């Protein structure tokens, strides 16, 4: 996790509604994954070239797409000068995910959104894009 945020700062308090901007991002990420399934890979993503080969920076995980849509870049490491945390932390904040919506209390938990297989991740994003105020 990035040094920029503490664990308590990452997940949205479920009593706080999702903003219109967060909901729009959830919908955009879901639409990207649904309409362009070849651009989503929860195992191999931009920046993982040593593991996955050359993806030409067009394949990303759910978190990567969220950060890319907002920042125009995927930050595998935090950028303290720009106040941008590592992709996992930033994506949770940008999409306004609560702990329950993420599916785990720890960002590294295998049950969390960023560790699901492609099909499960797309389905969870569908629910998040449709619900908008879940938590």
Residue 75: which pLDDT band, with cuts at 50, 70 and 90?
confident
pLDDT for the residue numbered 8 = 59
- Report the candidate in 59, 66, 72 with the shortest Cα–Cα distance to residue 101: 66
pLDDT for the residue numbered 9 = 77
Asked whether residue 61 carries a pLDDT value surpassing 50, the answer given is: yes
Average pLDDT in the 103-124 region? 90
DSSP letters, 38-94, are GGB-SSS-TT-HHHH---TT--B-HHHHHHHHHHSS--SS-BGGGTB--HHHHHHHH
Residue 126's Cβ-count burial label (10 Å; 0-12, 13-18, 19+) is middle
Asked whether residue 126 carries a pLDDT value surpassing 50, the answer given is: yes
Average pLDDT in the 59-66 region? 90
Asked whether residue 46 carries a pLDDT value surpassing 90, the answer given is: no
Dihedral, 88, 67, 130, 134 alpha carbons, nearest 10:
40
pLDDT for the residue numbered 45 = 56
- For the chain, give the mean pLDDT: 84
């Amino acid at each position: 996790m990035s040094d920029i945020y503490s664990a308590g700062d990452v997940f949205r308090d479920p009593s706080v509604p999702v903003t219109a901007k967060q909901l729009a991002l959830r919908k955009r990420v879901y639409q990207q994954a649904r309409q362009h399934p070849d651009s989503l890979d929860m195992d191999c993503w931009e920046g993982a070239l040593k593991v996955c080969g050359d993806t030409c920076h067009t394949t990303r995980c759910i978190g990567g797409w969220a950060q890319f849509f907002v920042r125009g870049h995927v930050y595998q490491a935090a950028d303290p000068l720009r106040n941008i945390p590592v992709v996992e932390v930033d994506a949770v904040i940008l999409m306004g995910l609560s702990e329950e919506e993420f599916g785990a209390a720890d960002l590294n938990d295998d049950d969390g959104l960023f560790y699901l297989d492609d099909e499960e991740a797309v389905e969870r994003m569908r629910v998040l894009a449709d619900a908008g105020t879940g938590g």
